[in-house]
Structure 1
Amino acid sequence: MMMTAKISEIFQSIQGEGKYAGVRQVFVRFFSCNMRCVWCDTPVSMGEGNSNYQELDLQDVFSRVSALWKNCHSVSLTGGEPLVQTHFIENLLPLMKRAGMPVFLETNGILYQQFQRIVDDVDIIAMDIKLPSSTQDRAYWQEQEEFLKMAVAKDVFIKIVVSTRALKADILKAVDLVAGVSRDIPVIIQPNYYDMPTDFPKSNGTLRQSVSRPPFPKRRGSISCTEINNVVISKCLEFQEVCLSRLKDVRVLPQTHKWMNLR
């Protein structure tokens, strides 16, 4: 039986988040996720009964990546959560390594047992520590600690998305987790401007569609988006100070690609 994966889209753009913001990448967006964050910016890649994906085999994915590879820094495996489809990825990565394509894994850092199967072939890891108060999902501290213990041998950085609901207790727990592995791991605090997106735009089912929103919607209920932004930015600056008390490299950076209306 031919090995396939559920792929939402493959495209070339710039990395808009974190330590490598601004570099050109080929993005392979895997369909499905093991979490349901309330502020998810790619609901098109979540498996909630939709079919916003294509079943692609190894050679098809590799061929599409190769066609877009010129002048790129790395190949970003993103989602959704790529490690939901680890069996496919562990067969895809050797093809990329032989072609000289560095692999950039974007992950929530929960599926550490699956990560162990591919860690040797991954070059860069963008690990998203989810604050339960921010995501409105349960905590995964133990799983993420196990993941980070393996990832620290690679070029890894942490991303923490902060919403208006993010609690200081959660950021303290995240700092304990990271510092317990290495104080040298960079942490990117990312402001989330969209609080509890009950009116989140839905996909029309087109494979290559990306979710698009203006930077500042006028209002959300009785609260203006400017007010939300002010709360979030204040939290980000406060949390940066908390993190810097124990970690060496902590930055506050937004999603830069959103400001340029890019995927």
Structure 2
Amino acid sequence: MSYLLKTFSTTRPEAEARLPKARLVEVFSSVQGEGLLVGYRQVFVRTYGCNLRCTYCDSPETLKESPMPTVCRIEWPVGTGRFETLPNPVEVEQLTQVLQRFLKMPHHSVAITGGEPLLQARFLKAWLPAVRSLRLKTFLETNGLLPEHLRQIVALLDYVSMDIKAPSATGLEPEKTWPMHRQFLEVARSTNVYTKMVITPRTTDDELDRAIDLIESVDASIPFILQPVTPFGQEPVGVSPARLLELQSRAAARLSEVRVIPQTHKLVSLL
């Protein structure tokens, strides 16, 4: 048994059965590499499970096609890239204790990522008050397609990074994608929300226009990030600079804040 596991207290069996638990992939410390919080140090909590199969997914270990993880990897010591393990599923109290150990080093916020974290909204609803009690900001990275799940925890979030999923990358029917995104953004606007769209060689002008329509219909001042795909897996080819500039100009004609931001953590080989 690792030293890390020995530090955890246990919950009485009858209470344990009532408390929500989460299946996690890993917890680690790194620098946020995407969106508006680029450069901030965060504790990343990566959840298992996703309701999409995006062509550009760079976390295949979170998908159900991967073996269900029997353990969660916990980086220790902080920032070393070395890991210990914690049995899945993880209890609220256990994850809080893990987080407290990470806070021996200053962090701006906790980033809940995946996979799709909102699939475990019941656990997050129980756990996020503990994060707030540690005076940490909460940051959710999500595919933006589960508005009712978001509604359960939105009051406990400081930041929401909402992906806008182009049907060309997900295979979803457009008439299902866009209404769900709109409902989601309506809920998320009570936080510091920004939207992000991964641009692949197959992203169409129509998909970009639908994304612009969506944001503009809710609030044209909500930031919109165009994230050029990082070649990986099913997306082996990137997007040309000329195409990125063309799409940014198209969006900036109607929205207040449009930026092109790549996955900067990939550029410096951070987790």
Q: Give the TM-score range, shorter chain.
A: 0.7 to 0.9
* Among candidates 210, 214, 221, match of residue 177 of structure 1: 214
- Secondary structure, aligned partner of 1:148: helix
Matches within 5 A, 1:78-157: 78-139=113-174, 140-157=177-194
Structure 2 Cα separation of the partners of residues 55 and 38 of structure 1: 28
Structure 1 Cα separation of the partners of residues 139 and 147 of structure 2: 16
Percent of paired sites with the same residue? 36
Structure 1 Cα separation of the partners of residues 146 and 113 of structure 2: 14
TM-score scaled by length of structure 1: 0.85
**Structure 2 residue aligned with 1:213:** none
Structure 2 Cα separation of the partners of residues 194 and 259 of structure 1: 12
Amino acid at match of 2:58: D
Aligned residues: 234
- Secondary structure, aligned partner of 2:119: helix
Structure 1: gaps (5+ residues) = 201-219, 221-227
TM superposition shift of 1:232: 3.9
TM superposition shift of 1:135: 3.3
Determine which structure has more spread, i.e. the larger CA radius of gyration.
Answer: 2
TM superposition shift of 1:255: 0.2
Structure 1 Cα separation of the partners of residues 253 and 205 of structure 2: 14
- Secondary structure, aligned partner of 1:110: coil
Q: Determine if contact 2:60/2:66 at 8 Å carries over to the other structure.
A: no
> What do residues 199-236 of structure 1 show as CA deviations (whole Å, max 9, x unaligned)?
x9xxxxxxxxxxxxxxxxxxx5xxxxxxx33x443322
**Structure 2 residue aligned with 1:256:** 264
- Secondary structure, aligned partner of 1:8: strand
**Structure 2 residue aligned with 1:65:** 99
TM superposition shift of 1:49: 4.5
Structure 1 Cα separation of the partners of residues 186 and 197 of structure 2: 18
Structure 2 Cα separation of the partners of residues 67 and 237 of structure 1: 43
* Among candidates 47, 51, 62, match of residue 68 of structure 2: 51
Structure 1: 4+ residue segments shifted above 6 A: none
1:240 matches 2:257: no
Deviation larger for 3-12 or 133-142: 133-142
Q: Determine if contact 1:193/1:232 at 8 Å carries over to the other structure.
A: no
